[in-house]
Copies of this chain bind each other. A is one copy, B any other.
Amino acid sequence: MTAGTDDSKPAPSNVRGAAYPRIHADLRVTFQVSVPTATSVRLQPGGHESGLGSSTMDLARGEDGTWTVTTPPVLPGFYYYWLLVDGVAVNDPSSETYFGHGRSTSGLEVPDPSVDFYQIRDVRHGEVRTRWYRSETTGSWRRCLVYTPPAYDDDHTTRFPVLYLQHGAGEDERGWTTQGRANFILDNLIDAGAAKPMIVVMNNGYALEPGEVPTTPPYSPEQTARLADSFRDLILRDVVPVIDTAYRTVADRESRAIAGLSMGGRQALDVGLKGLDTFAAIAGLSAAVFDPIDPDRDYGGVLADADAFNERVRLLWLGAGTGERRFDEALASMESVLTKQGIRHQAYRSPGTAHEWQTWRRSLQALAPLLFRD
């Protein structure tokens, strides 16, 4: 199938000028790569059960040494993927790379013709600011990304609430804007009056204390606990004071929320529920919390007294995709404990999406309008 003779278009995630991957009107995707020397080329979708499918696909060799495959129709969304060239994992030179799976990984954006809530539209846009700050917790300079809403510089007095928003395992602070398009989601919601103008702060979720050597998962329970402690220290001791100093925030707990996805969801629940002096709204998106919650033991016991909790917390929000069984079950388990405890909470389920960015884009779209309401 030749580019330009059918209804297909280059994916928006292609590098400048690359003709492939191409997305067809029925959402089949054609990948093509030139590797004359290879004896086999396969397409490997990242993750499990995503809208790109879950198994590898063989590319077929053409006479000129290009290899091509067209997938069945896929679901709209963002997908990590790579190619297996004679078994070696390589990025597709035609696609942009995104930090996922602990490295720079090819990504494919499949537009959803039915929605534009995460597209750049003809509305006012906020900025995404890269800020460097010194962390006492890690003993290093760190980078965070800060979304400021479109009206931020309209005057010098208005103050804004702050959402702290965390990425998942193997990703970094760039994930929520680059893969997740959080800035465009907020721009569109704010333009429509559907969400309050807010600042969004995105940090790297890996925080090691000075001298600690980085390791890769799986982590022992002790490592997991130590990483959680470091990250909580980072947010509460380092980041929140930096943000409240550098930006025109409303510096009180009612105007701070913390949310995250997957590993970041577990972190958001941990930091938020143990940090109710700092946060009054807490959200776990596909939160990686797989052990049943024990209200008396977990999160410093704050879930034990429902009346006190409900009085103090403005929003406890949980989300998952219906296509990510393990996380959907984790959500159901959490809901059941919370309901039994009488803890007020809200839950959201993204229809048909798995452990992937489309779930989290939709989750942010559902969550943001609920934040910082009286």
| Residues in A lying within 8 Å of B, measured CB to CB | 15-17, 35, 37-38, 85-91, 93-97, 99, 102-104, 120, 122, 125, 127-132, 134, 141, 146, 153, 156, 172, 177, 206, 214-216, 246
Instruction: Find A17's partner among B96, B131, B216 (CB 8 Å cutoff).
Output: B216
Q: B131–A130 contact, CB under 8 A?
A: no
**Most B CB atoms within 10 A — which of A96, A97, A206?**
A97
Which chain B residue has the least Cβ–Cβ distance from A155?
A: B156
Instruction: Looking at the assembled complex, report how far the CB atom of A287 sits from the nearest CB atom of chain B, in whole angstroms.
Output: 22
Distance of A154 from chain B, by nearest CB (Å): 11
Give the distance in Å from the alpha carbon of A86 to the alpha carbon of B91 in the complex.
15
With contact pairs A90-B90, A206-B16 given, residues A129 and B132 touching in the complex (Cβ less than 8 Å): no
Query: A127-B129, A127-B130, A132-B125 are known contacts. Are A91 and B88 too (CB-CB below 8 A)?
Result: no
Copies in the complex: 2
Contact B37 A86 (CB under 8 A): yes
Residue in chain B with minimal CB distance to A246: B153
Which residue of the partner chain, among B93, B104, B215, contacts A15 with CB atoms under 8 Å? B104
Assess whether A130 is in contact with B132, with CB atoms less than 8 Å apart: no
Q: Are A132 and B120 in contact (CB under 8 A)?
A: yes
15 contacts between A and B (CB under 8 A): A15-B104, A16-B102, A17-B102, A17-B214, A35-B88, A86-B86, A88-B88, A88-B90, A89-B93, A96-B104, A97-B104, A104-B104, A120-B141, A122-B134, A128-B130
How many whole Å from A248's CB to the nearest CB in chain B? 9
Nearest-Cβ distance from residue A84 to partner chain B, whole angstroms: 10
Residues of B within 8 A of A129 (CB): 127-130
Q: Residues of B contacting A102 with CB < 8 Å?
A: 15-17
Chain B: CB-nearest residue to A107: B104
Whether A87 touches B37, Cβ cut-off 8 Å, given contacts A97-B104, A102-B16, A246-B153, is: yes
Contact of A16 among B86, B91, B130, B214 (CB under 8 A): B214
Residues of B within 8 A of A206 (CB): 16
The smallest C-beta distance from A81 to any residue of chain B, in angstroms, reads: 14
A126 to chain B, nearest CB (A): 9
Give, as a whole number of angstroms, the nearest-CB distance from A64 to chain B: 15
Query: How far in angstroms is the closest Cβ of chain B from A262?
Result: 16
- Set of chain B residues within 8 Å of A132, measured between Cβ atoms: 120, 125
CA A209 – CA B158 in complex, angstroms?
A: 39
Q: Which of the listed residues A38, A89, A132, A153 has the most CB atoms from chain B within 10 Å of its own CB?
A: A132
Shortest CB distance A239–B (Å): 15
Task: Beyond the given A37-B86, A93-B104, please list 9 additional residue pairs across the A-B interface where CB-CB is below 8 A.
Answer: A15-B104, A90-B91, A91-B91, A95-B104, A104-B104, A122-B134, A127-B130, A128-B130, A153-B246
Contacts of A88 in B (CB 8 A): 35, 37-38, 85, 88, 90
Among B89, B90, B125, contact of A131 (Cβ-Cβ < 8 Å) = B125
Q: Which residue of B lies closest to A84 (CB)?
A: B37
Closest 10 CB pairs between A and B? Answer: A17-B214, A97-B104, A90-B90, A128-B130, A156-B156, A37-B87, A125-B132, A127-B129, A129-B129, A97-B97
